[in-house]
Amino acid sequence: MTPHQVRWRAFKAAVPYTLPILAGFAFLGLTYGIYMHQSGFNFIYPMLMSLTIFAGSAEFIVANLLLQAFNPVGVFFITLIINSRHLFYGLSMLDRYRHTGWKKPYLIFGMCDESFSINYTATIPDGVDRGWFMFFVTALNQSYWVGGATLGGLFGSTIPTHIKGLGFVMTALFIVLCINQLRHESNHLSSKAGAILAIVMLLIVGQTYFIPATMILVILVFTIVYRQKELTDDHH
């Protein structure tokens, strides 16, 4: 295969996986752009922020913080807390992003919830280049988000938003990917721990901190299991 054919084949394999995200990101990106427009910002703001931050919930919060007193340290830490979940994505992708050459920095930069979930769970067909497949998933997803945010910022409230509820496409996507993950794993300890701890932490510490709190507890669960396994391995 020529390099062109390799790229084309990976692109064709990647597009279908990103279609639900096209619907979700176009809609949520538009919402974000409209929100920025209504907060009085030029469309350049949502365009550049979606391109450079590229983390949905953080962008909404930064939009808010831009309207308040200058507090760079506060922005840094709130973004760090909201996006702490990315640390888990990186740990899971250490192996899969290996040997992807110059694409690796971009794959890591563009590792949003959706791109991580697809690149981790997708069964990439034989004969399709993994690096290019993951590259196209990541780049397509980012282009949908930036496109939506820019259009929303440009046209603001003139865009009809009676497509109420389309954002649910992201929830449906994660439910489906969660089930795919359940089908692939040999035991469900991790999934059960994640679900139960996340719900309990959401109830106890609330929306802002429940993700990092859950992450710490999940690592704790893993450490206990890992230790026990090592102990029993030593006995044999």
Partner 1 sequence: MTIIEQIITVSMAVLATVLTRFLPFLIFPGNRQTPRFIQQLGTFLPGAIMAMLVVYCYKDLNFGTPSGYVPAIIAGLVTAGLHLWKNNMFLSIAVGTVLYMALVN
Closest to partner 1 by CB, 1 or 39: 39
Closest to partner 1 by CB, 78 or 159: 78
Closest to partner 1 by CB, 1 or 222: 222
Residues 30, 151: Cα–Cα separation, whole Å: 6
Closest to partner 1 by CB, 14 or 197: 197
Least distance in angstroms from the C-beta of 100 to partner 1 = 9
Least distance in angstroms from the C-beta of 126 to partner 1 = 19
Q: Which of the 8 DSSP states describes residue 1?
A: -
Residues 19, 23: Cα–Cα separation, whole Å: 7
Cβ atoms of 6 and 132 closer than 8 Å: yes
Least distance in angstroms from the C-beta of 73 to partner 1 = 8
123-126 contact pairs (CB < 8 A, 24+): 124/13, 125/13
Write out the H or E segment, with its range, that includes residue 51: helix 44-52
Tokens of 165: 């509820």
Least distance in angstroms from the C-beta of 4 to partner 1 = 27
